[in-house]
Amino acid sequence: MTNAKALNPALKSYDDAAAAARRGYPDLHDHVMALAHEDLLVVVDEPINKDTEMHPLVRWQYRGGIAEPDRKAFLFTKPTDSKGRKFEGSVLVAGLAANRDVYRVGFGKPLEDIGRVWINAIANPLTPRIVADAPCQEIVTVGDELDQDGMALDGLPVPISTPGWDNAPYLSAGHYITKDPDTGVQNVGNYRGQLKGPRCLGMNPSVELRAGIYTHWLKYKALGQPMPCAVVVGCPPAVSYAAVQKMPEHLDEVAVAGALAGAPINVVKAKTVDLMVPAEAEIVIEGFINTNLLEPEAPFGESHGYVNLQEYNAFMDVTAITRRKHPILTSFISQVTPSESSVIRRVAMEPVFLNHLQNVLGIRAVKRVSMHEPLTSLYAVIAIQFARGVPETEVWRALYGASSLHRFAGKWIVAIDEDIDPENADALFWAMSYRCQPQYDLKVLDHKDAGHGPRGPRDNGESAAVLINALLKGTFAPVALPKREFMEHAREIWQRLGLPPLKPESPWHGYDLGHWPADLERQARMAVESDYFSLGTELAKLRRADVEMNQPVTRDPSQG
């Protein structure tokens, strides 16, 4: 590995601050240097096999017990394959969302502002700026040139994501640009792309049945025409963040990306298809997607945690590949979550759900929406935090609202109090176990789209949403952990003894949940003052023969 400042000469253009200032937003080269400056980049400058070593190496930071803040982006400057081929350019893995800090650097805003910026960008997109000359077309390969060795898809260092299961290298960060033939509005979406031949790119546009690309494909099929397409592999971070977001079909994601970045994104006309592509893209694959024939595609490891087996899908005939002189090919680390893919989606999707509940539905008591990430890929388990005292009708309105926002997100939607940490699955189960009576607090909504993940064998794979009200109902006795003051003092002793560093998990101290009489507070205080025998003398005076075992002690209201 090497320090970012000692990168090889091909990457000198990474630190062109003047060019970034002229554009008004960073491109991928600027982003890589920003990561290096913040010590969020690992540069691997030795040969690494993209087909067997690259993704497994980065995968370890997600499956090796490394905490999210310690995860980093990886830049591989000397990619090879199992046949010894050397590739021009570098490969960036986990470079857009290895963790929230990497996302923050690419987004260019503090983490606490990201939700607000997303909502504003979707509401106020910026029309892209058309330019004549573009870095993405510094090198253009068209026609018969594509048939030369290493000049087409065979010259791109696309990694194999799940070696041992995937049947080819797949683009995992391929942003597919297509255009509605009726309205002319472009759509950008992120889909996997199988390298099938030097001029043939497999793809799976129907994973999302409501995705713009699939709608466009059906329209071109009805017209009896192949569908023009441009696949961007590496681009300004704002474009990538927009490409993976769920947003209304009428929006051009590049226009939303401009609003995210604070300046219109430069676009240029592609060379062989009638589409506009980001001018600062690293690599652009142009071609036509066949709308008449489908062919087998996959297996490929998917983010729901299982291998997606082979199925019939679309393919693209490549007509041109354009690129920068020293391109950076981006590859998302996806599959089993947590992953780069889950972070890049979660940071944007949680604010969208929160905005829908708070501002669209007007449920102000909703304080937070948290999408569970490890293994569940965000879509299955959603927790909604509420302020204390919220009317039960508002709780159910929020649960129903969250279940209907996305066609398949939300198989388990749980309403929780503010003292429950939604990041801690143990805390969620605690609330579900002791703040919920299932016969009253659980509802099942049938006819939910199965969406992402293996389809069950029944009801044609159809799923359902389970809504759970796990809020406190009335007042509860305190949480049975030592009060905060005693835990904090004990932590000082722990540290003085040189014991291993602590990472407190909520709840780490006891707290009042509304039912704690003043007399019991007095008795607990006597205990910590080692005066419990005096208390025993008091309790002996309250002995009775007319009560059953375990009958609660009732107190005079004047006792608190």
What are the tens digits of pLDDT across the range 182-236?
999 999 999 999 999 999 999 987 555 456 898 999 999 999 999 999 999 999 9
**What's the whole-model pTM score?**
0.88
What pLDDT was estimated at residue 20? 76
Nearest-Å Rg of the Cα atoms of the chain is 28
CB under 8 Å to 94, separation ≥6 — which residues? Answer: 58, 61, 71, 72, 73, 74, 102, 332, 333, 340
- What distance in Å separates the CA atoms of residue 173 and residue 188, rounded to the nearest whole number? 12
DSSP states of 403-423: HHHSSS--SEEEEEETTS-TT
CA distances from 92 to 126, 416, 560 (A): 28, 39, 63
Alpha helices in 467-557 (DSSP H): 484-496, 518-528, 532-540
CATH topology of domain 361-469: UbiD C-terminal domain-like (3.40.1670)
Interhelix angle for 114-123 vs 100-107, to 10°?
50
What pLDDT was estimated at residue 337? 87
- Going by C-alpha positions, the residue among 198, 148, 194 that lies closest to residue 174 is 194
The residue type of 498 is G
CATH number of the structural domain 4-331: 2.30.110.10
From-to residues of CATH 3.40.1670.10 in the chain: 361-469
From-to residues of CATH 2.30.110.10 in the chain: 4-331
- 362: helix, coil or strand? coil
> Burial of 307 by CB count in 10 Å (0-12 exposed, 13-18 middle, 19+ buried)?
middle
Burial call 215-229: b when 16+ CB within 10 Å, e when fewer:
bbbebbbeeeebbbb
- What distance in Å separates the CA atoms of residue 373 and residue 113, rounded to the nearest whole number? 21
User: 68 — phi, psi (to 5°)?
Assistant: -50, -45
Residue ranges of the chain whose pLDDT lies below 70: 1-17, 206-211, 451-453, 556-560
- Going by C-alpha positions, the residue among 297, 292, 290, 264 that lies closest to residue 278 is 264
